[in-house]
Amino acid sequence: MIKDILDSVRKANPLVHNITNYVAANDCANITLACGGSPIMSDDPEEVEEITTLCNALVMNLGTLNPRKLEAMIKAGRRANKLKHPVILDPVGIGASSFRQQAVKELLNTVDFQVIKGNISEIKTIGKKKTICKGVDASEIESITEDNIEGAITLATELSKDLGAIIAITGAIDIVADKDLVYIIRNGHQSMRNVTGTGCMLSSIIGVLVGANPHRIFDATVTAFCIMGVCGELAYNKIVEKFQGSGSLKIHLIDSMSNIDYKILEEKI
């Protein structure tokens, strides 16, 4: 599965439209390039319909949301749906404000999403479950563990049935689910939490892989989680080896992504 997904990316070099946050936009663009895609980061309502027409996938990230950006997301999302381009939603910090919650409600009512990716607190908020959030991060109390993973799986599969989208939950243990199938991914390293935007970067990687594999969106999403996790492990090994810190971790993460191949993945997954 993974080899086929990555081979398709290398052949297609998909163009991915990211309407993302200004905190992580540069890193999202660079990780898109590193994994074999081409990024475009337009978020002006006046041009997003034209821009997304040119692209293979659309990624929406709520990290630094404002009314203008929400308008752009709705316009781009409708156009992507009309063209049958995959659309990914990353509802960053949805639990932090009523504005974000209302924005996601409006997006879900106007745009069909193929993938919704967030931490457990964000996914619980979308599922209207009681949750505890810490800004844009998941609460440590709610982190997915071996003890509570069954509940997280149930949440993901039920929400997938309700919304008709793949639900992808990030954490120490990752979950990718639709209404019938669930994958558990245990790659990655906790040091990745010390670099802002790694979750946003993952959303962009999903955009690249589903853009190149529009008929295998579930497999592409699982593959995105696997390669991001493995690259995180490789990056951590590098900073330990060189006595470096979190700034270097981000650089090694992007380097690892640009050098990743199937043999490395086969060893690590």
| 168-193: pLDDT as tens digits | 999 999 999 999 999 999 998 898 99
pTM of the predicted model as reported, rounded to 2 decimal places: 0.93
CATH class of 2-268: alpha beta
- What confidence category does residue 139 fall into, taking pLDDT thresholds of 50, 70 and 90? low
Q: What's the confidence (pLDDT) of residue 130? A: 47
- What confidence category does residue 60 fall into, taking pLDDT thresholds of 50, 70 and 90? very high
Lowest mean pLDDT of 84-98, 120-134, 140-154, 211-225, name the range. Answer: 120-134
Domain ranges of the chain: 2-268
- R_g over Cα of the chain: 17
CA distance 254 to 201: 10
Q: What's the confidence (pLDDT) of residue 145? A: 86
- What confidence category does residue 140 fall into, taking pLDDT thresholds of 50, 70 and 90? low
Q: What's the confidence (pLDDT) of residue 267? A: 80
What is the rounded average pLDDT for all residues in the chain?
93
- The mean per-residue pLDDT over the stretch 14-27 comes to 97
Q: What's the confidence (pLDDT) of residue 129? A: 62
